[in-house]
Structure 1
Amino acid sequence: MQKIMKKVARVMAFLARMSLWLSGIGLVLMTAFITYQVFGRFVLNNTPTWTESWSILIMGWFIFLGAAVGTREGYHLSFDVLLYILPQSVKNVLYTISDIVIAAFGLGMIYYGVQLLDKTWQSTIPNIGISGGWAFVSIIMGGVLMTLFSIERILRRACGMVTARFGETELPEEDR
């Protein structure tokens, strides 16, 4: 089972790496668009109207993709004080409960994101001329990745691949 999980972990690591790259590119693009908007408004006296709409769309992508990667790496918000005094077996149970809750949250993001997408698909974002539903695709994708990464963490833990700290694994750094 560990051999299969190591292969799965490599695929998930690739997904996480690509998500992180897309998040970084999105952050740079959003910053460039907002900089151009400020330059156009105050220097050229001609404000580009498309920059804000695109920036908001891009911001959704880098937030939700980055949050999913944070889930995989164990960097989400947690309260660890009690974990310092508990035995490892109890810690593993609590970690698994945490991952189940995160997976449920991801499933909720998918479910409600699809509803939002369905209700807004027929509308158009005026400044850029695309469907308003695209604003919610990032929520759905973030939910899919959060759910996948949480399930992966649960399965790795069941195979004995997660050690004492939340984000540590037996995989070499380059395979994470």
Structure 2
Amino acid sequence: MSNPREDQTDLGIVDKAFRGLVAVCRIITGAALVAMTVLLGYQVFGRYVLNDTPTWVDPLSLLLVMLIAFLGAGIGVYENTHLAVVFFRNMASKKIRTIMVVLTDAVMALFGGFMMWYGWQLTMFKWNTLIPMIQWPEGLRTLPLTICGGMVMVFSLGHLVRLFLGRDHRVDNIE
């Protein structure tokens, strides 16, 4: 069976941009995961070997967790690997199932738009406050939320466009 993501390449330059964004997000989340692992290892080494705990590791690790979680969620929406309850949708007729999919994608796009808008407002509100121990802008904690909201909105709208063009080949991952 072919990969559902590969079957959705019918939108040309839009899908190239989506795949490029997802590839960049994968690199960022992978690097963030490696960095967090190294940082936490350094914290343990500092605490137990050097007897001097580096206090800046915790706030930096929390920033990395936010980055990993929210960029990963955006990737999940694009690849249709996010958690979904499909029991009732699978029991419905094809017409009802299509309506449910449209409603789900529309609600996801709306939710992503709200995440992006209010995440941006929160990021700007907190930008001039510094995170203790690392002295970076507090808005960096909510910036991944804003980016994720934009990704969820755009990817959900892309799914809707594919559906209306008859090019949506997504399958439910959990049945």
**TM bucket normalised to smaller:** 0.7 to 0.9
The one-letter amino acid paired with 2:42 is: Y
- Give 1:70's aligned residue: 76
Alpha-carbon contact 1:95-1:166 (below 8 Å) kept: no
- Identity, in percent, stands at 31
Aligned-pair distance for 1:164?
Answer: 5.9
User: 1:86: how far off?
Assistant: 2.6
More deviation, 26-35/2-11: 2-11
CA deviation after TM superposition for structure 1 residue 97, in Å? 1.0
Provide the rounded CA distance (Å) in 1 between the counterparts of 2:33 and 2:9. Answer: 36
Question: Conserved in 2, the CA contact under 8 Å of 1:5 and 1:155?
Answer: no
Which of 11, 14, 21 lines up with 2:20 in the alignment? 14
**TM-score, normalised via structure 2 length:** 0.86
| 1:3 CA displacement | 8.7
- Tell me the amino acid that sits aligned with residue 82 of structure 2: H
Correspondence 1:79-98 to 2 at 5 A: 79-98=85-104
Cα displacement string for residues 84-121 of structure 1 (whole angstroms, at most 9, x for unaligned residues): 23333332221121111111111121122122222211
| SS of structure 2 residue aligned to 1:49 | coil
Query: What amino acid does structure 2 have at the position aligned with 1:127?
Result: M
Which residue of the other structure, out of 122, 142, 146, is the alignment partner of 2:148? 142
Q: Tell me how large the CA RMSD over aligned residues is.
A: 1.9
Structure 1 regions of 5+ residues with no counterpart?
A: 168-176
The answer for unaligned runs of 5 or more in structure 2 is 1-7
Which residue identity does 1:158 align to in structure 2?
F
The Cα of 1:9 is off from its aligned counterpart by: 1.6
CA distance in 1 between partners of 2:172 and 2:105 (Å)? 10
1-structure distance, mates of 2:156, 2:86: 18
Change in Cα spacing, 1:3 to 1:45, as seen in structure 2 (3 Å) is: closer
- Tell me what 1:122 maps to: 128
Q: Give the total of aligned pairs.
A: 166
Q: Distance in 2 between the 1:48 and 1:14 partners?
A: 36
Stretches (4+) displaced over 3 A: none
Question: Is this contact kept in 1: 2:10–2:167, CA < 8 A?
Answer: no
1:105 corresponds to 2:108: no
Change in 2 beyond 3 A, CA 1:131/1:95 = same
